[in-house]
């Protein structure tokens, strides 16, 4: 399929109204920076399509950001927060960060040039997964301080609306609790949500056989990855039954959950992921529209 080695199947959702062919699209995660980047030769077209890199702060120059701010065009920023943590036997550690950043990017593209996405906070609060190899975890205070400092940086540059968009369950309660304080300390319209707030019980029922969202490395997340970045799904060599006794998970409830996630992951499909991503992007874009309108 053309020169892209990692064609993003979900990309066409953002491009349904454009004339760009899917084969020109490629989305990957930049190695150690843990940042989503779009590559391939995408340019503006007569249909108004925007280079997806244009909404990513870390891909922009200071000139581009300054000019948008000076022109009053840049109305809001999304700060994606997530994790680098074990995702059972078959998903990449970066899953949460990659997924929330993708939702943020696609939503920002809908509202271009009014919204940009900051570099994601790619390590979160994950002490509950430290008995699984590879997980990185920050202390709650460290994580919240990082998120606050990112938001303060944005405020310093004159950004008035900040949506902290979360993609990792362990960050949710601390961020929900801290965000009103962040908001009043910074004096900007700072709001918080996890992107799965987009999913009503009806949507979950319609698309998820397990009835669980977000879960962990199960039907939802595996479907998301299959749709958005299938190169991060690694079933090859996975034999959960064989390995589960070697995992050494001490807590019986945690062990039970681990097995449940492994079972439910088998229900995942690309089509389910595409549908769920489209809902999240739509919801995030609508939320930003309301924020920009002063809500």
The contact mask relative to Zn ion for 64-103 (x = CB under 5 A, - = no) is -------------------------------xx-------
DSSP code at position 232: G
The contact mask relative to Zn ion for 11-30 (x = CB under 5 A, - = no) is --------------------
Cβ closer to Zn ion: 59 or 96? 96
Beta bridge partners of 220: none
Cβ at position 29, least distance to Zn ion in Å: 14
Closest alpha carbon to 186 in 218, 137, 151: 151
Closest alpha carbon to 111 in 153, 165, 50: 50
Q: How many residues bind Zn ion (CB under 5 A)?
A: 2
Cβ at position 233, least distance to Zn ion in Å: 13
Q: How far apart are CA 118 and CA 78, in angstroms?
A: 6
Cβ closer to Zn ion: 90 or 155? 90
Cβ at position 225, least distance to Zn ion in Å: 10
Cβ at position 145, least distance to Zn ion in Å: 23
Cβ at position 81, least distance to Zn ion in Å: 12
> Helix (H, G, I), strand (E, B), or coil: what is residue 216?
coil
Cβ closer to Zn ion: 88 or 106? 88
Cβ closer to Zn ion: 95 or 232? 95
Cβ at position 255, least distance to Zn ion in Å: 18
Cβ at position 240, least distance to Zn ion in Å: 17
Cβ closer to Zn ion: 74 or 103? 103
Q: Which residues of 250-279 are buried (b: 16+ CB within 10 A; e: fewer)?
A: eeeeeeeebeebbebbebbebebbbbbbbb
Cβ closer to Zn ion: 93 or 279? 93
Residue 258 touching Zn ion (CB under 5 A): no
Q: Is 221 exposed, middle or buried (0-12, 13-18, 19+ CB in 10 A)?
A: buried
Q: Which 96-115 residues touch Zn ion, going by CB under 5 A?
A: 96
Q: How far apart are CA 24 and CA 1, in angstroms?
A: 9
Query: Strands, E, within 195-292: which ranges?
Result: none
Closest alpha carbon to 104 in 126, 124, 76: 76
Cβ closer to Zn ion: 190 or 265? 265
Residues 6+ apart with CB under 8 A from 148: 178, 182, 185
Residue linked to tokens 């593209």: 109
Chain residues that interact with Zn ion, rule: CB under 5 A = 95-96
């Amino acid at each position: 399929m053309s020169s892209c080695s990692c064609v993003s199947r979900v990309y066409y959702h953002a491009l349904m109204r454009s004339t760009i062919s899917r084969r020109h699209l490629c989305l990957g995660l930049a190695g150690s920076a843990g940042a989503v980047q779009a590559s391939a030769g995408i340019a503006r077209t007569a249909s108004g399509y925007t280079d997806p890199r244009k909404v990513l702060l870390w891909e922009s120059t200071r000139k581009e950001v300054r000019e948008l701010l000076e022109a009053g065009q840049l109305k809001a920023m999304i700060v994606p927060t997530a994790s680098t943590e074990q995702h059972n036997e078959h998903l990449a550690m970066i899953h949460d960060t990659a997924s929330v950043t993708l939702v943020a990017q696609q939503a920002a593209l809908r509202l271009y040039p009014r919204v940009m996405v900051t570099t994601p906070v790619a390590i979160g609060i994950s002490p509950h997964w430290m008995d699984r190899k590879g997980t990185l975890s920050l202390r709650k205070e460290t994580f919240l301080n990082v998120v606050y400092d990112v938001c303060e940086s944005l405020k310093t540059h004159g950004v008035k609306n900040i949506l902290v968009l979360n993609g990792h369950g362990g960050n949710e309660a601390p961020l929900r609790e801290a965000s009103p304080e962040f908001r009043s300390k910074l004096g900007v319209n700072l709001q918080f949500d996890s992107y799965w707030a987009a999913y009503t019980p009806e949507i979950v029922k319609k698309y998820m056989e397990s009835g669980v969202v977000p879960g962990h490395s199960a039907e939802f997340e595996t479907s998301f990855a299959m749709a958005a970045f299938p190169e991060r799904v690694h079933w090859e060599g996975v034999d959960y039954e064989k390995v589960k006794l070697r995992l050494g998970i001490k807590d019986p409830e945690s062990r039970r959950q681990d097995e449940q996630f492994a079972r439910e992951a088998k229900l995942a499909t690309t089509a389910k992921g595409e549908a769920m991503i489209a809902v999240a992007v739509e919801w995030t874009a609508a939320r930003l529209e309301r924020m920009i309108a002063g809500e």
